[in-house]
Structure 1
Amino acid sequence: MAGTLRRRLAWTALLRVFKPGTPGLGRRLAAIPRMIGATVRGEYDGGSRLAMMAVAGLYIVSPIDAVPEAVFLLFGLLDDAAVAAWFAGAVLDETERFLTWERQRAVTIPGETVPGTGRRRQGYRRSA
């Protein structure tokens, strides 16, 4: 799967969310629980990226991060902004990658419902 689904830089994913033809923000956010579940089950290879996003989220909300803000006001805020921008881009990029993985997987398993839609793939019929 590594060769077919490549990751982009988290920074560029922030810009891609507004590009026509890419999944909307609602679809991406709705895919997060499915992505976590597929990763925990070992079906999807997003484990290390999800771990990095969790660490970034904890860094942003942690009280330990208040020390740089108190001592170096501007630098303390800039590092939070950089981590928050990376975090947002990583979430957008990984959810887009996950949605692509779901589509590819649904095509290779005939008759399986398209994840997140509750509908069956077109062109496949349910066997009786």
Structure 2
Amino acid sequence: MAKAARAAQAWKAYREVTRPGTPGLGARLRAIPRLVGSVLNGSYPGMGRGKLAMLGLGVLYMISPVDVIPEFLMLIGVVDDFGVFLWLMGSLLGESGRYVEWERNHVRVLPS
């Protein structure tokens, strides 16, 4: 991913999280476990299992000691991890924000 594309993706994620009226960063992060559960049990129609699997692979890539471009190649090895990190955070924050909005509109209020 080119530098400009990574910067644009980071800026887009920042604008999404800070846009007035949208869920904040904390709400989005807290929603991620609920999002995963809802995708897995099929109750959230906004995201498929395939995309969830891709996000999972991104997480595994970030924590894995095996790397496509090893860190010992100095800057190049760090740049690929950073690109995956930006994609992962942008995707997770965007999806979790949409999920929080979906929850707000679809959670039934139980009678008292």
TM-score of the superposed pair, with normalisation by structure 2: 0.77
More helix by percentage: 2
User: What are the ranges of 5 or more consecutive residues in structure 2 without an aligned counterpart?
Assistant: 1-7
Distance 1:87 1:98 in 2: 16
Identity of aligned residues (%): 43
- 1:85 corresponds to 2:69: no
Match for 1:69 among 68, 71, 77? 71
Q: Which amino acid aligns with 2:58?
A: A
Report deviation, 1:67: 5.4
Distance 1:65 1:96 in 2: 30
- Residue-pair matches, total: 101
Residues 23 and 101 of structure 2 are in contact (CA less than 8 Å); yes or no, is this contact kept in structure 1?
no
Report deviation, 1:31: 1.1
Q: Give the structure 1 partner of residue 20 of structure 2.
A: 20
Report deviation, 1:66: 7.7
Q: Give the structure 2 partner of residue 4 of structure 1.
A: none
Report deviation, 1:15: 2.7
Q: Equivalences for 1:1-128 in 2 at 5 Å?
A: 11=9, 12-45=12-45, 46=47, 47-65=49-67, 68-70=70-72, 72-106=73-107, 112-113=108-109, 126=111
Deviating beyond 4 angstroms after TM superposition, the runs of 4 or more aligned structure 1 residues are: none
User: What are the ranges of 5 or more consecutive residues in structure 1 without an aligned counterpart?
Assistant: 1-9, 107-111, 114-119, 121-125
Q: Which amino acid aligns with 2:92?
A: V
Residues 14 and 92 of structure 1 are in contact (CA less than 8 Å); yes or no, is this contact kept in structure 2?
no
TM-score of the superposed pair, with normalisation by structure 1: 0.68
The higher relative CO (CA closer than 8 Å, separation ≥ 6) is in 2
Q: Which amino acid aligns with 1:98?
A: Y
